[in-house]
Amino acid sequence: MKDLKSYIRNIPDFPKDGIMFRDVTTLFSNPAAFRHAVDSLVAAFKNDRVQKVAGIEARGFVLAGAIAHRLGAGVVPIRKAGRLPHQTIEETYQLEYGDATLEMHLDAFGAGDRILLIDDLIATGGTAEAALSLIERQSGDVVGCGFIVDLPALGGSARVRTHCERVVSLCSFDSD
Ligand code: AMP
């Protein structure tokens, strides 16, 4: 198995100038790399008695479903505003320009349930932090956060560690 990073496609200036987009769809489409990524995140949390895997729209859903299946857990979708059909709670957070809102169903899990948060990538940590706030507001017990990619220069993983001790990423890129 080659380094997982080599399966990630780098797209300069997407979605805007100056951003190097780390495109994990090339990793998802490679059977061995996708299996390796899922297996690695499953291994990291297999002893945590995870009850629900919360995935962040949209690339987080791909991982959350596969990981939950392997852990014998359920899946909780954390979605962009206006897409969940039932009663939701929402959390608005800052982006570089403007803001964004994430929503979760009010009854997505029970108080005290053991939750694993999953997304493809952590950059500034704003998205993950908003998702963690939603889970904490519903009294979920966050056992950890898992990502394929960390961009440590942007400080997100350090920020998220203030909410949850176990933050696992499978690879990192030094500049953004
Ligand atoms: P952040 O809130 O800054 O941690 O951004 C994380 C979210 O934005 C994740 O859902 C990522 O999929 C996406 N994202 C942010 N920066 C990048 C990047 N350079 N390449 C790919 N996805 C990114």
Are 137 and 103 spatial neighbours (Cβ–Cβ below 8 Å)?
A: no
Binding site membership of 172 for ligand 1 (Cβ less than 6 Å): no
Q: Which of 71-85, 86-100, 114-128 shows the lowest per-residue confidence on average (mean pLDDT)?
A: 86-100
Distance of CA 137 to CAs 22, 24, 132, 134, Å? 31, 30, 8, 5
Q: Is the pLDDT of residue 176 over 60?
A: no
Provide the whole-model pTM.
Answer: 0.98
**Which residues are known catalytic residues?**
59, 96
Measured in Å, residue 123 CA sits from the centre of ligand 1 at: 5
Q: pLDDT by residue (tens digit) across 44-91? A: 999 999 999 999 999 999 999 999 999 999 999 999 999 999 999 999
The CATH code that applies to domain 47-172 is 3.40.50.2020
Question: Distance of CA 55 to CAs 14, 76, 156, Å?
Answer: 23, 6, 17
The residue whose CA has the least distance to atom 3 of ligand 1 is 124
Alpha carbons 166 and 129: distance in angstroms, whole number? 14
Q: Model confidence over 3-14: pLDDT tens digits? A: 999 999 999 999
pLDDT, one tens digit per residue, over 129-140 is: 999 999 999 999
Q: Is 79 in the pocket of ligand 1 (CB under 6 A)?
A: no
Cβ 147 vs Cβ 173: under 8 Å: no
What is the average pLDDT value for the chain, to the nearest integer? Answer: 96
Q: Is 144 in the pocket of ligand 1 (CB under 6 A)?
A: no
Ligand 1 neighbour 149 (Cβ under 6 A): no
CA distance 53 to 73: 7
Tell the residue nearest (CA) to atom 19 of ligand 1: 21
